[in-house]
Amino acid sequence: MDLIYLLLLGPVLFVVVSWILGLITPDYDWKNDYISELALGKYGWIQKLNFWVCGISVGWICILLAGKSPIPSVRLGWYIGSVMGIMVVLAGVWDTHVKRPIKTLAGKLHDYTYHIGILGTGAAYILVGWGYRDIPIIWMFSWAVAAFDLIWWNFSGKLGIKQGIGQRMIIYSSLIWVGVMAIWTMWR
């Protein structure tokens, strides 16, 4: 299972590369702009590669953890969680159409991948947490992240939180959850 530890570098690199690109990409404002918009700029190919590396890493982590679990709901949760990885890869295939005067098919597909990925991730939080209901810290952690993401997704804009910050909180919380759960599973 050392492979899981190696794969955990994917989400870490995603965060680091996104931040660096956010600092060096002209006219990019991390507070207002989505992470996906980094794929449109001068260094867009790096962000696309970043999506692919992170997505493949997260997908494989979830599949490996599903194979390791004897608990049916946890296994199902991890398999559904692998959808998040697939959707992140697809986000690197289809460019967003944010800030473009015309909505594109690729942009619409990009938006759908984000929403499907978030819903799949929420299902994974709930199922994995339910499977570990006999370990209070684990189910509370999973369900707390699920509640946070749901509330944040629905209300951050209404609370005046800039869209770039709002999106990052959801993406980072899901990557942290995968990392924490993977490490916890490996240490058990």
Q: What is the pLDDT of residue 166?
A: 86
What is the spatial distance between Cα 58 and Cα 8, in angstroms, rounded to a whole number?
8
Average pLDDT, the chain: 91
The dihedral built from the CA positions of residue 138, 76, 59 and 108, taken in this order, carries a sign that is negative
Q: What is the mean pLDDT of residues 140-168?
A: 89
Range of 137's domain? 2-187
Report residue 1's pLDDT band, with 50, 70 and 90 as the boundaries.
low
Using only the alpha carbons of the chain, give its radius of gyration.
Answer: 16
pLDDT in tens, 137-150: 999 999 999 999 98
Contacts of 144 (CB under 8 A, 6+ apart): none
Residue 46: pLDDT above 90?
yes
Q: What is the mean pLDDT of residues 115-129?
A: 90
Contacts of 148 (CB under 8 A, 6+ apart): 173
Tokens of 177: 């959850």
Q: What is the pLDDT of residue 103?
A: 83
pLDDT in tens, 84-114: 899 999 999 988 877 777 888 888 898 889 8
Euclidean distance between the first and the last CA atom of the chain, given in angstroms as a whole number:
12
Tokens of 188: 């058990």
Judged by DSSP in three states, 157 sits in coil
What is the spatial distance between Cα 173 and Cα 84, in angstroms, rounded to a whole number?
13
What is the spatial distance between Cα 51 and Cα 114, in angstroms, rounded to a whole number?
12
Q: What is the pLDDT of residue 77?
A: 95
Nearest CA to 132 among 73, 179, 45, 57? 73
* Weakest mean pLDDT among 11-25, 63-77, 102-116, 166-180: 102-116
Nearest CA to 13 among 64, 51, 59, 62? 51
* Weakest mean pLDDT among 51-55, 124-128, 160-164: 160-164
Report residue 2's pLDDT band, with 50, 70 and 90 as the boundaries.
confident
Q: What is the pLDDT of residue 78?
A: 95
What's the total number of domains in the chain?
1
Q: What is the pLDDT of residue 178?
A: 94
